[in-house]
């Protein structure tokens, strides 16, 4: 685990958050989670290579830059980021963790058709979408150093995996359907008990010295309505398998669904695919029961914030 700056460690120690601070500062240097074997379609196993095996050459420099971008995206890809999130917030352990949408599993499955934009996407195009939606920023140009670095890091992590094969650990694990329809009130109770200590009672995250320690889950500094986490089904799968950090699968499926619903029932930046109205944007991009965009919750029409802000 990467060592925390002294001032940050002392501040977190005083607030009882030091142990959980690994969420924002995980380095890919061999915590136990990094060594989880993931079964591939052939029945073999796969373990991402250790950081120590990154080559000490020009290619290795690009791999290390990709890793740094993963861990601190606002610092290393500042020009393309519009919030305070880093890639590691959704791809834990610097993109190595099975069941947390690891980069090694994604890399070997592109190019691929995506229903989100109804075309075959290259891996670089897939990453561009992450910057547009999850980072609420703008797409780095194809061939830019940022995309080349992230692709190089993903390629290095995936060394030895077959292309185009199903890989266990890809994406987020499926979650059982809830016994009861996801509920805001129940979700708030789960959030207050299990999530607020890290992400704040107001969902705005935790910051020390301008550094994001725990990411915001809604509001202007979080992901926008076009992000994958804007589907509370996707959010429930991620939460169930990965949260609270270091306590995977400690929530029941019902709790994961409820708290995901609660999280997504808050306002956030506008979908950059804005069609001129909430109704039109929902009809084209959010016509699913798992999106609360364009739905009235607690008297508030979610997404009714006008055109997206330009950067």
pLDDT in tens, 216-236: 999 999 999 999 999 999 999
Check residue 67 and give its pLDDT.
98
Q: What is the pLDDT of residues 267-304, one digit of tens each?
A: 999 999 999 999 999 999 999 999 999 999 999 999 99
Check residue 177 and give its pLDDT.
95
Comparing 256 with 170, the larger pLDDT belongs to 256
Check residue 167 and give its pLDDT.
85
pLDDT of 153 strictly over 60: yes
Lowest mean pLDDT among 36-50, 140-154, 265-279: 36-50
Q: Are 205 and 234 in contact (CB under 8 A)?
A: no
Distances (CA, A) of 159 to 111, 119, 203: 17, 27, 38
- Give this prediction's pTM: 0.87
Phi, psi (deg, nearest 5) at residue 228 = -60, -35
Check residue 210 and give its pLDDT.
86
Q: What is the pLDDT of residues 101-134, one digit of tens each?
A: 999 999 999 999 999 999 999 999 999 999 999 9
pLDDT confidence tier of residue 22, bands split at 50, 70 and 90: very low
Q: Are 258 and 230 in contact (CB under 8 A)?
A: no
- 145-157 and 58-71 are packed helices; what angle lies between their axes, rounded to 10 degrees? 100
Mean pLDDT of 159-166: 89
> How many whole angstroms separate alpha carbon 68 and alpha carbon 57?
16
pLDDT confidence tier of residue 87, bands split at 50, 70 and 90: very high
Q: How far is CA 163 from the centre of its chain?
A: 23
- Average confidence score pLDDT of the chain: 88
Q: Cis ω on the peptide bond leading into residue 111 (within 30° of 0)?
A: yes
pLDDT confidence tier of residue 45, bands split at 50, 70 and 90: low
Residue 191 DSSP symbol:
I
Superfamily of domain 6-157: Cytochrome c-like domain (1.10.760.10)
Mean pLDDT of 162-179: 90
Residue 193 DSSP symbol:
I
Check residue 237 and give its pLDDT.
97
Mean pLDDT of 141-166: 95
Check residue 165 and give its pLDDT.
86
Check residue 36 and give its pLDDT.
37
**CATH 1.10.760.10 domain locations along the chain:** 6-157, 184-301
Check residue 169 and give its pLDDT.
86
Check residue 193 and give its pLDDT.
98
What's the CATH number of domain 184-301, 3.30.70.100, 3.30.420.40, 3.40.50.720, 1.10.760.10? 1.10.760.10
Residue 8: count of CB within 10 angstroms of its CB: 18
Tokens, residue 297: 């919750």
pLDDT of 100 strictly over 60: yes
């Amino acid at each position: 685990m990467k060592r925390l700056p002294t001032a940050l460690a002392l501040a977190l120690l005083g607030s009882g958050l030091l142990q959980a601070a690994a969420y924002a500062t995980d380095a890919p240097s061999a915590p136990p989670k990094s060594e989880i074997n993931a079964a591939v379609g052939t029945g073999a196993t796969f373990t991402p290579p250790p950081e120590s095996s990154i080559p000490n050459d020009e290619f290795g420099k690009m791999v290390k830059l990709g890793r740094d971008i993963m861990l601190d995206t606002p610092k290393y890809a500042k020009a393309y980021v519009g919030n305070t999130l880093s890639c590691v917030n959704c791809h834990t352990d610097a993109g190595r963790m099975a069941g947390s949408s690891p980069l090694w599993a994604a890399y070997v499955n592109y190019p691929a058709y995506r229903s989100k934009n109804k075309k075959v996407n290259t891996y670089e195009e897939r990453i561009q979408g992450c910057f547009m939606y999850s980072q609420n920023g703008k797409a780095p140009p194809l061939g830019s150093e940022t995309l080349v670095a992230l692709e190089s890091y993903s390629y290095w992590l995936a060394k030895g995996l077959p292309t185009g094969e199903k890989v266990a650990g890809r994406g987020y694990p499926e979650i059982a359907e809830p016994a009861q329809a996801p509920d805001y009130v129940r979700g708030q109770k789960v959030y207050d008990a299990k999530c607020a200590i890290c992400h704040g009672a107001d969902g705005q995250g935790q910051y020390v010295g301008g550094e994001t320690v725990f990411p915001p889950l809604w509001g202007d500094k979080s992901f926008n309505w076009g992000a994958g986490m804007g589907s509370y089904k996707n959010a429930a799968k991620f939460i169930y398998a990965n949260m609270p950090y270091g306590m995977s699968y400690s929530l029941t499926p019902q709790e994961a669904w409820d708290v995901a619903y609660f999280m997504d029932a808050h306002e956030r930046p506008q979908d950059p695919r804005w069609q001129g109205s909430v109704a039109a944007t929902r009809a084209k991009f959010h016509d699913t029961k798992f999106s609360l965009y364009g739905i009235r919750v607690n008297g508030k029409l979610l997404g009714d914030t006008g055109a997206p802000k330009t950067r």
